[in-house]
Amino acid sequence: MRLKNEVAIITGAASGIGQAVAVQFAEEGAKVVLVDLNSCEKTIGLLNGAEYLECLGDIRDPEFVKATVNRTAEKYGEVHILVNNAGTCSRLDLEDMTLEMWDRDLDTNLKATFLFTQAVVYPHMKEAGYGRIVNISSVSGINGGVTSGGNEKNGRSGPAYAASKGGVIALTRWVAKELGQYGITCNSVAPGATLTAITAGVQYDTSNQVIDRMGDANDIANAVLYFSTKEAGYTTSQVLKVDGGVSIG
Protein backbone atom coordinates (compact mmCIF):
# COMPACT_ATOMS: atom_id res chain seq x y z
CA MET A 1 0.00 0.00 0.00
CA ARG A 2 1.99 2.93 -1.34
CA LEU A 3 0.08 5.62 0.59
CA LYS A 4 -0.59 3.77 3.83
CA ASN A 5 -1.86 6.14 6.56
CA GLU A 6 -1.10 9.23 4.49
CA VAL A 7 -3.63 12.07 4.40
CA ALA A 8 -4.63 13.42 1.01
CA ILE A 9 -6.82 16.42 0.19
CA ILE A 10 -8.43 16.06 -3.24
CA THR A 11 -10.47 18.85 -4.77
CA GLY A 12 -13.24 18.09 -7.24
CA ALA A 13 -13.64 14.66 -5.66
CA ALA A 14 -17.34 14.17 -6.39
CA SER A 15 -16.81 12.87 -9.93
CA GLY A 16 -14.43 12.40 -12.83
CA ILE A 17 -10.69 12.60 -12.27
CA GLY A 18 -11.05 13.63 -8.62
CA GLN A 19 -13.23 10.62 -7.91
CA ALA A 20 -10.77 8.27 -9.63
CA VAL A 21 -7.88 9.75 -7.65
CA ALA A 22 -9.76 9.37 -4.37
CA VAL A 23 -10.60 5.73 -5.09
CA GLN A 24 -7.04 4.85 -6.10
CA PHE A 25 -5.59 6.65 -3.08
CA ALA A 26 -7.98 4.82 -0.76
CA GLU A 27 -6.97 1.50 -2.30
CA GLU A 28 -3.35 2.44 -1.60
CA GLY A 29 -4.12 3.06 2.09
CA ALA A 30 -4.63 6.83 2.21
CA LYS A 31 -7.13 8.73 4.30
CA VAL A 32 -8.89 10.89 1.75
CA VAL A 33 -10.38 14.35 2.22
CA LEU A 34 -13.07 14.81 -0.40
CA VAL A 35 -13.54 18.45 -1.38
CA ASP A 36 -16.27 19.56 -3.75
CA LEU A 37 -19.14 21.97 -4.20
CA ASN A 38 -21.43 18.97 -4.69
CA SER A 39 -22.07 15.89 -2.59
CA CYS A 40 -19.37 13.22 -2.74
CA GLU A 41 -21.85 10.45 -1.97
CA LYS A 42 -21.02 8.48 -5.12
CA THR A 43 -17.30 8.66 -4.42
CA ILE A 44 -17.81 7.60 -0.80
CA GLY A 45 -19.72 4.57 -2.03
CA LEU A 46 -16.62 3.47 -3.97
CA LEU A 47 -14.14 3.75 -1.10
CA ASN A 48 -14.81 0.27 0.31
CA GLY A 49 -14.80 1.44 3.89
CA ALA A 50 -11.64 3.55 3.67
CA GLU A 51 -11.39 6.49 6.05
CA TYR A 52 -12.55 9.80 4.61
CA LEU A 53 -13.57 13.34 5.46
CA GLU A 54 -16.06 15.19 3.26
CA CYS A 55 -15.74 18.98 2.97
CA LEU A 56 -18.34 20.70 0.82
CA GLY A 57 -17.99 24.30 -0.29
CA ASP A 58 -16.59 26.78 -2.77
CA ILE A 59 -12.85 26.30 -3.35
CA ARG A 60 -12.60 29.91 -4.55
CA ASP A 61 -13.46 31.09 -1.03
CA PRO A 62 -10.31 31.63 1.09
CA GLU A 63 -12.22 31.02 4.33
CA PHE A 64 -13.57 27.69 3.10
CA VAL A 65 -10.09 26.64 2.00
CA LYS A 66 -8.57 27.50 5.38
CA ALA A 67 -11.40 25.76 7.22
CA THR A 68 -10.96 22.62 5.11
CA VAL A 69 -7.24 22.39 5.76
CA ASN A 70 -7.74 23.11 9.46
CA ARG A 71 -10.45 20.41 9.75
CA THR A 72 -8.08 17.97 8.06
CA ALA A 73 -5.18 18.81 10.37
CA GLU A 74 -7.37 18.67 13.46
CA LYS A 75 -8.73 15.23 12.56
CA TYR A 76 -5.59 13.59 11.19
CA GLY A 77 -2.71 15.64 12.56
CA GLU A 78 -0.92 16.12 9.23
CA VAL A 79 -1.53 16.77 5.54
CA HIS A 80 0.79 14.75 3.32
CA ILE A 81 -0.72 15.15 -0.15
CA LEU A 82 -2.69 17.83 -1.98
CA VAL A 83 -4.29 17.21 -5.37
CA ASN A 84 -5.62 20.41 -6.95
CA ASN A 85 -8.03 18.91 -9.44
CA ALA A 86 -11.33 20.83 -9.41
CA GLY A 87 -11.86 22.92 -12.51
CA THR A 88 -14.21 24.61 -14.93
CA CYS A 89 -13.90 25.00 -18.70
CA SER A 90 -15.67 27.67 -20.70
CA ARG A 91 -15.76 27.10 -24.46
CA LEU A 92 -16.58 30.62 -25.57
CA ASP A 93 -14.15 32.00 -28.13
CA LEU A 94 -12.30 35.29 -27.69
CA GLU A 95 -15.03 37.34 -29.35
CA ASP A 96 -17.79 35.93 -27.15
CA MET A 97 -15.83 35.53 -23.92
CA THR A 98 -17.48 37.31 -21.01
CA LEU A 99 -15.77 38.70 -17.94
CA GLU A 100 -17.94 36.42 -15.82
CA MET A 101 -16.70 33.30 -17.62
CA TRP A 102 -13.11 34.57 -17.59
CA ASP A 103 -13.23 35.13 -13.83
CA ARG A 104 -14.92 31.79 -13.21
CA ASP A 105 -12.21 29.77 -14.96
CA LEU A 106 -9.31 31.77 -13.56
CA ASP A 107 -10.68 31.68 -10.02
CA THR A 108 -11.59 27.99 -10.03
CA ASN A 109 -8.57 26.65 -11.87
CA LEU A 110 -5.77 28.97 -10.75
CA LYS A 111 -6.79 31.00 -7.71
CA ALA A 112 -8.07 27.94 -5.84
CA THR A 113 -4.84 26.08 -6.62
CA PHE A 114 -2.89 28.93 -5.05
CA LEU A 115 -5.20 29.09 -2.02
CA PHE A 116 -5.00 25.39 -1.21
CA THR A 117 -1.26 25.22 -1.84
CA GLN A 118 -0.61 28.11 0.51
CA ALA A 119 -2.92 26.70 3.18
CA VAL A 120 -1.41 23.19 3.24
CA VAL A 121 2.21 24.30 3.10
CA TYR A 122 2.10 26.97 5.82
CA PRO A 123 2.46 25.60 8.37
CA HIS A 124 1.59 21.94 7.84
CA MET A 125 3.86 20.54 5.13
CA LYS A 126 6.69 22.93 5.92
CA GLU A 127 6.75 21.96 9.59
CA ALA A 128 6.55 18.27 8.73
CA GLY A 129 9.40 18.56 6.22
CA TYR A 130 7.39 16.54 3.72
CA GLY A 131 4.67 17.03 1.13
CA ARG A 132 3.41 16.05 -2.28
CA ILE A 133 1.45 18.60 -4.32
CA VAL A 134 -0.05 17.57 -7.66
CA ASN A 135 -1.83 20.11 -9.83
CA ILE A 136 -4.09 19.08 -12.69
CA SER A 137 -3.34 21.38 -15.61
CA SER A 138 -4.09 20.57 -19.26
CA VAL A 139 -2.41 20.34 -22.63
CA SER A 140 -4.56 23.41 -23.34
CA GLY A 141 -2.23 25.31 -21.03
CA ILE A 142 0.69 24.24 -23.22
CA ASN A 143 -0.63 24.41 -26.77
CA GLY A 144 -3.41 26.97 -26.45
CA GLY A 145 -6.38 24.65 -26.49
CA VAL A 146 -7.38 21.27 -27.84
CA THR A 147 -9.54 21.56 -30.95
CA SER A 148 -12.58 19.32 -31.03
CA GLY A 149 -13.65 17.29 -34.04
CA GLY A 150 -14.97 19.37 -36.93
CA ASN A 151 -13.69 22.61 -35.39
CA GLU A 152 -17.24 23.59 -34.55
CA LYS A 153 -17.74 26.93 -32.81
CA ASN A 154 -17.40 26.67 -29.03
CA GLY A 155 -15.93 23.16 -29.21
CA ARG A 156 -12.37 24.21 -28.46
CA SER A 157 -11.54 24.99 -24.85
CA GLY A 158 -11.66 28.77 -24.50
CA PRO A 159 -8.97 31.37 -23.80
CA ALA A 160 -9.85 31.61 -20.11
CA TYR A 161 -9.34 27.86 -19.65
CA ALA A 162 -6.06 27.85 -21.57
CA ALA A 163 -4.78 30.87 -19.65
CA SER A 164 -5.75 29.40 -16.28
CA LYS A 165 -4.11 26.05 -17.01
CA GLY A 166 -0.98 27.75 -18.32
CA GLY A 167 -0.95 29.65 -15.05
CA VAL A 168 -1.23 26.39 -13.11
CA ILE A 169 1.87 25.10 -14.90
CA ALA A 170 3.84 28.26 -14.12
CA LEU A 171 2.69 28.17 -10.49
CA THR A 172 3.68 24.50 -10.24
CA ARG A 173 7.23 25.30 -11.30
CA TRP A 174 7.49 28.32 -9.00
CA VAL A 175 6.25 26.35 -6.01
CA ALA A 176 8.58 23.45 -6.80
CA LYS A 177 11.61 25.75 -6.74
CA GLU A 178 10.48 27.42 -3.52
CA LEU A 179 9.56 24.35 -1.50
CA GLY A 180 12.06 21.68 -2.48
CA GLN A 181 14.25 22.73 0.44
CA TYR A 182 11.47 21.60 2.80
CA GLY A 183 11.06 18.14 1.33
CA ILE A 184 7.97 19.17 -0.64
CA THR A 185 7.57 18.30 -4.31
CA CYS A 186 5.16 19.97 -6.71
CA ASN A 187 4.28 18.48 -10.09
CA SER A 188 1.51 18.72 -12.63
CA VAL A 189 -0.44 16.26 -14.75
CA ALA A 190 -1.65 17.71 -18.05
CA PRO A 191 -4.52 15.67 -19.52
CA GLY A 192 -5.48 15.72 -23.15
CA ALA A 193 -9.01 14.90 -24.27
CA THR A 194 -10.44 12.94 -21.35
CA LEU A 195 -13.92 11.57 -20.71
CA THR A 196 -15.24 13.70 -17.84
CA ALA A 197 -18.15 16.05 -17.22
CA ILE A 198 -16.11 18.90 -18.72
CA THR A 199 -15.95 17.15 -22.09
CA ALA A 200 -19.52 15.83 -22.07
CA GLY A 201 -21.20 16.57 -25.39
CA VAL A 202 -17.96 17.51 -27.16
CA GLN A 203 -16.68 15.11 -29.82
CA TYR A 204 -12.90 15.07 -30.12
CA ASP A 205 -11.08 13.83 -33.20
CA THR A 206 -8.44 11.48 -31.81
CA SER A 207 -7.29 10.17 -35.19
CA ASN A 208 -4.22 12.44 -35.03
CA GLN A 209 -3.13 10.87 -31.74
CA VAL A 210 -0.71 7.99 -31.41
CA ILE A 211 -3.30 6.34 -29.17
CA ASP A 212 -6.60 6.74 -31.00
CA ARG A 213 -9.05 7.15 -28.14
CA MET A 214 -10.05 9.61 -25.47
CA GLY A 215 -8.51 9.15 -22.07
CA ASP A 216 -10.49 8.18 -19.00
CA ALA A 217 -10.27 9.35 -15.42
CA ASN A 218 -8.12 6.41 -14.34
CA ASP A 219 -5.50 7.25 -16.98
CA ILE A 220 -5.01 10.58 -15.23
CA ALA A 221 -5.28 9.17 -11.71
CA ASN A 222 -2.46 6.71 -12.41
CA ALA A 223 -0.10 9.62 -13.13
CA VAL A 224 -1.29 11.53 -10.07
CA LEU A 225 -0.61 8.49 -7.91
CA TYR A 226 3.03 8.31 -8.97
CA PHE A 227 3.69 11.98 -8.18
CA SER A 228 2.05 11.47 -4.78
CA THR A 229 4.26 8.63 -3.56
CA LYS A 230 7.44 8.69 -1.51
CA GLU A 231 9.17 7.08 -4.50
CA ALA A 232 8.69 10.33 -6.42
CA GLY A 233 10.80 12.28 -3.96
CA TYR A 234 13.43 13.20 -6.56
CA THR A 235 10.86 14.37 -9.12
CA THR A 236 9.58 17.93 -8.96
CA SER A 237 8.56 20.81 -11.26
CA GLN A 238 7.49 18.31 -13.91
CA VAL A 239 4.50 18.52 -16.24
CA LEU A 240 3.45 15.05 -17.36
CA LYS A 241 1.28 15.10 -20.48
CA VAL A 242 -1.24 12.26 -20.42
CA ASP A 243 -2.76 12.92 -23.82
CA GLY A 244 -2.54 9.85 -26.05
CA GLY A 245 0.48 11.36 -27.76
CA VAL A 246 -1.36 14.30 -29.32
CA SER A 247 1.47 16.62 -28.27
CA ILE A 248 4.13 14.73 -30.21
CA GLY A 249 3.63 16.75 -33.35
The mean pLDDT of the chain is 93
Residue 202: pLDDT band (50, 70, 90) is confident
Residue 212 makes CB contacts below 8 A (sequence gap 6+) with 206, 244
> Quick one: pLDDT at residue 249?
61
pLDDT digit string, tens, across residues 5-38: 999 999 999 999 999 999 999 999 999 999 999 9
- Write the burial class of residue 95 (CB in 10 Å: 0-12 exposed, 13-18 middle, 19+ buried): exposed
The one catalytic residue among 161, 182, 204, 226: 161
Residue 147: pLDDT band (50, 70, 90) is low
Asked which of 4-18, 73-87, 103-117, 188-202 is least confident by mean pLDDT, the reply is: 188-202
SS3 of residue 242 by DSSP: strand
pLDDT digit string, tens, across residues 91-118: 888 888 999 999 999 999 999 999 999 9
User: Is the distance from CB of 227 to CB of 240 less than 8 angstroms?
Assistant: yes
Residue 102 has φ and ψ, to the nearest 5°, of -60, -50
- 161 catalytic residue (yes or no): yes
User: Is the distance from CB of 202 to CB of 148 less than 8 angstroms?
Assistant: yes
> Quick one: pLDDT at residue 185?
98
CA distances from 145 to 89, 101, 142, 189, 248 (A): 11, 16, 8, 16, 15
96 forms beta bridges with: none
**Domains along the chain?**
7-242 (3.40.50.720)
User: Is the distance from CB of 75 to CB of 51 less than 8 angstroms?
Assistant: no
Q: Report whether pLDDT(248) > 50.
A: yes
Q: Report whether pLDDT(66) > 90.
A: yes
